[in-house]
A and B are shown apart, each in its own frame.
Chain A
Amino acid sequence: MKPAPFEYHRPTTVEEAVDLLGRHGYDAKLLAGGQSLIPTMNFRLAQPAVLIDLNRVEELDFLREEEGGIRMGAMTRQRAAERSGLVGRGAPLLAETLPWVAHPQIRNRGTIGGSIAHADPAAEIPAVMLALDARFTLRSSGGTRAVPAEEFFTGLFGTSLEPEEILTEIEIPRPAPGSGWAFAEVSRRHGDYALAGVAAAVVLDGSGRCSGARITLLSVGEGPALATEAAGVLVGTEPSEDVVRAAAEAVGRGIDPPADIHATAEYRRHLAEVLTRRVLPRALERARASAGA
Chain B
Amino acid sequence: MIVEGEYTFSGPRDVVWELLQDPEVLSKAMPGAARLALVGDGAYEGSIRVGVGPVTAAEWKLAVTLQDRDPPAHYVMQVDSKGPIGFTRGSASVDLAETDGGCTLMRYRADLQVGGKVAGIGQRLIDQVAKMMTHRGLDALSNELRARLAEEA
User: Touching in the complex, A and B, CB below 8 A?
Assistant: yes
Interface residues of A (CB under 8 A from B): 29, 36-37, 40, 43-48, 118-122, 155-158, 193, 222, 258-262
Is the beta-carbon distance between A155 and B54 smaller than 8 angstroms?
A: no
Distance of A21 Cα from B123 Cα, bound (Å)? 31
Distance of A238 Cα from B58 Cα, bound (Å)? 53
Distance of A122 Cα from B52 Cα, bound (Å)? 15
23 contacts between A and B (CB under 8 A): A36-B54, A43-B117, A43-B121, A44-B84, A45-B117, A45-B118, A45-B122, A46-B55, A118-B53, A121-B128, A155-B132, A156-B53, A156-B129, A156-B132, A157-B52, A157-B54, A158-B53, A193-B124, A222-B128, A222-B131, A222-B132, A258-B128, A258-B131
CB proximity of A21 to chain B, nearest CB, Å? 16
**CB neighbours of B128 from chain A (8 A):** 121, 156, 222, 258
Distance of A158 Cα from B54 Cα, bound (Å)? 10
Closest to A261 in B: B123
**CB neighbours of A36 from chain B (8 A):** 54
Is the beta-carbon distance between A156 and B52 smaller than 8 angstroms?
A: yes
**CB neighbours of B132 from chain A (8 A):** 155-156, 222
Instruction: State whether the Cβ of B20 lies closer than 8 Å to any Cβ in chain A.
Output: no
Is the beta-carbon distance between B56 and A47 smaller than 8 angstroms?
A: yes
Interface residues on B, range: 20 to 34
**CB neighbours of A155 from chain B (8 A):** 132
Closest to A219 in B: B124
Is the beta-carbon distance between B56 and A258 smaller than 8 angstroms?
A: no
Q: Which residue, B53, B122, B124, has most C-beta atoms of chain A within 10 A? A: B53
Q: A44-B84, A45-B117, A260-B123 are in contact. List 6 more A-B contacts (CB 8 A).
A: A43-B117, A46-B54, A47-B58, A118-B54, A122-B124, A156-B128
Distance of A260 Cα from B85 Cα, bound (Å)? 20
Distance of A156 Cα from B124 Cα, bound (Å)? 12
CB proximity of B146 to chain A, nearest CB, Å? 22
Instruction: State whether the Cβ of B39 lies closer than 8 Å to any Cβ in chain A.
Output: no
Residues 96-153 of B contacting A (Cβ, < 8 Å): 117-118, 121-129, 131-132
Closest to A26 in B: B57
Q: Which residue, B54, B84, B121, B126, has most C-beta atoms of chain A within 10 A? A: B54
**CB neighbours of A44 from chain B (8 A):** 84-85, 117
**CB neighbours of B124 from chain A (8 A):** 122, 193, 260, 262
Is the beta-carbon distance between B131 and A40 smaller than 8 angstroms?
A: no
Is the beta-carbon distance between B127 and A259 smaller than 8 angstroms?
A: yes
**CB neighbours of B84 from chain A (8 A):** 44
CB proximity of A38 to chain B, nearest CB, Å? 10
**CB neighbours of A222 from chain B (8 A):** 128, 131-132
Question: Given known contacts A45-B117, A156-B128, is B52 in contact with A37 (CB within 8 Å)?
Answer: no
CB proximity of A189 to chain B, nearest CB, Å? 15
**CB neighbours of B52 from chain A (8 A):** 156-157
Question: Given known contacts A121-B128, A155-B132, A258-B131, is B123 in contact with A45 (CB within 8 Å)?
Answer: no
Q: Which residue, A40, A45, A47, A262, has most C-beta atoms of chain B within 10 A? A: A45
